[in-house]
Structure 1
């Protein structure tokens, strides 16, 4: 169970890695939409990394860029998260990466958790 304690501006919780401060104001902690975006992007990227590794593809680096579309008229609801992978490796082919991203999407718990309420769009480029 996570316990969040109220601060003057926001909340905090203690985790194994350290304290997590959450606030609607970036000066006092991570904003909730940033945490949601990070959770989806990094979960998806982690699953992708595992899949590429299991396929014995030589990946040197993966950088993830994430953009968010929010609807101000609906309490700034996250409507869409666009994830773009920059993948560096040896002998990688686009069709291999496309299949791996599709598989990662199906196996990422965070993406599956928001399926039907947030559009998650994934693209990539080999660098």
Structure 2
């Protein structure tokens, strides 16, 4: 049998939903005030960007540990272009990997990112089906 994820998303009234995750954590989804919501939750399209960064980030963090790399800090900036026409979707996404530290091994960090982008990250593969992806790696030496 194929691996499946089951998520339950319950309407809490107005424009607010609560969505469960297979890990038993929940998150709140709400529309912006401009769209009739109260802005009390996460926006669905932005959540997709968080999923993309989180998926790749988990890969890279795991590889940093496996490769015993010295990284003080690491963050991913995900900048997406939304189409003008409905249904609006992301047609281009820039994913910036920012590494901070005094002993950054750039070649190995590049390899970690490449492995995530090209081999491991399933969310990245899903995004490839509808968006042009631009991967950038920035090293901030202390």
User: TM range, normalised to the smaller chain?
Assistant: 0.7 to 0.9
Contact 2:69–2:105 (CA under 8 A) maintained in structure 1: no
Contact 1:9 1:28 in 2 (8 A): no
Aligned counterpart, 2:84 = 72
- What is the deviation of 1:87? 0.6
What's the counterpart of residue 28 of structure 1?
Answer: 40
Q: Distance in 1 between matches of 2:47 and 2:81?
A: 14
Q: Deviations over 1:77-105 (max 9, x none)?
A: 11122111211234323322222211011
Instruction: Name the count of aligned residue pairs.
Output: 126
Shift of 1:11: 1.9
- Higher RCO (C-alpha under 8 Å, 6+ residues apart): 1
Alignment of 1:42-53 (within 5 A): 42-53=54-65
TM-score by length of 2: 0.77
**Equivalent residue for 2:19?**
13
**4+ aligned runs moved over 3 Å, structure 1:** none
Matched, 1:56 2:68: yes
Which is richer in strand?
A: 1
Asked if 2 retains the 8 angstrom alpha-carbon contact of 1:84 and 1:124, the reply is: yes
Gaps of 5+ in 2: 1-5, 34-38
CA root-mean-square deviation = 1.9
Question: Which position in structure 1 is the counterpart of 2:108?
Answer: 96
